[in-house]
């Protein structure tokens, strides 16, 4: 039934992931779902955890902590983009404070390779989570708008007008780089080698 929810999400999108639609798919009454999940948010939290868990694991052996952090962030970012509306689902779950903790934990583990104290590590991880999810959400929304608005727009390929910033993978990389560089500075200030 979690699997069915993920299928609806990926094939039809979040607006169609309703309790009633899911019930129909399962050949069951809507009320039956409430034996398995207390409410819809709990369902979405479970879906979110599934999406995050699907992110390819970090190659823990290679590179210094900076690369590990960058790779882990990229892997999680990709996982959110892999499911239709994946970023939005995770974003809502995260904001409501239910689940989706895997995101912060995985980033924190990578960051802790830099030898920061626990508090800095946690704060930095949280900062990166918010940027990562926000960016994925934003990007996913634009991709969908483009694919639907190919009618009206007629400029589907000349996005990234020079007035606004480009917002694809390049923007994501810069954000992560900024944060990693900032962390690096912090570490030098704390224990100036």
CA 44 from centre of chain: 14
Number of neighbouring beta carbons within 10 Å of residue 39: 11
Kindly give, in sequence order, each residue whose CB lies less than 8 Å from that of residue 77, ignoring residues fewer than 6 positions away.
Answer: 132, 135, 136, 172
Nearest of 134, 122, 130, 111 to residue 180 by alpha carbon: 111
Check binding of 150 to DNA (CB under 7 A). no
Helix (H, G, I), strand (E, B) or coil at 94: helix
User: Contact region for DNA (CB under 7 A) — 26-34, 51-59, 85-93, 98-106?
Assistant: 26-34
Using CB under 7 A as the binding rule, the residues of this chain from 40 to 79 that contact DNA are: 40-41
Is the CB of 29 or the CB of 141 nearer to DNA? 29
With CB under 7 A as the contact rule, the residue among 19, 104, 130, 171 that binds DNA is 19
User: Contact region for a second copy (CB under 8 A) — 43-51, 55-63, 65-73, 92-100?
Assistant: 92-100
Using CB under 7 A as the binding rule, the residues of this chain from 109 to 128 that contact DNA are: none
Check binding of 180 to a second copy (CB under 8 A). yes
Is the CB of 60 or the CB of 166 nearer to a second copy? 166
Which H/E stretch holds residue 21?
helix 19-26
Report how far residue 60's alpha carbon sits from residue 57's, in angstroms, rounded to the nearest whole number.
8
Q: Which residues bind DNA (CB under 7 A)?
A: 16, 18-21, 27-32, 34-36, 38-41
């Amino acid at each position: 039934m979690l699997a069915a929810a993920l299928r609806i999400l990926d094939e039809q999108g979040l607006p169609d992931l309703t309790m009633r639609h899911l019930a129909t798919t399962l050949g069951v009454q809507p009320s039956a779902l409430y034996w398995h999940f207390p409410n819809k948010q709990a369902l979405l939290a479970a879906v979110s955890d599934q999406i995050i868990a699907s992110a390819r694991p970090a190659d823990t052996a290679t590179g210094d902590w900076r690369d590990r952090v960058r790779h882990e962030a990229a892997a999680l970012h990709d996982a959110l983009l892999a499911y239709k509306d994946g970023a939005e689902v995770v974003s809502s779950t995260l904001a409501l404070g239910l689940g989706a903790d895997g995101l912060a934990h995985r980033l924190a583990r990578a960051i802790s390779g830099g030898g920061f104290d626990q508090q800095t590590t946690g704060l930095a991880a949280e900062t990166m989570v918010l940027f990562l999810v926000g960016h994925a959400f934003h990007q996913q929304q634009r991709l969908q708008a483009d694919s639907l608005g190919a009618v009206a727009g007629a400029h589907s390929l000349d996005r990234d007008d020079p007035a606004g910033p480009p917002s694809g993978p390049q923007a994501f990389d810069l954000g992560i780089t900024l944060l990693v560089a900032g962390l690096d500075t912090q570490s030098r200030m704390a224990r100036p080698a």
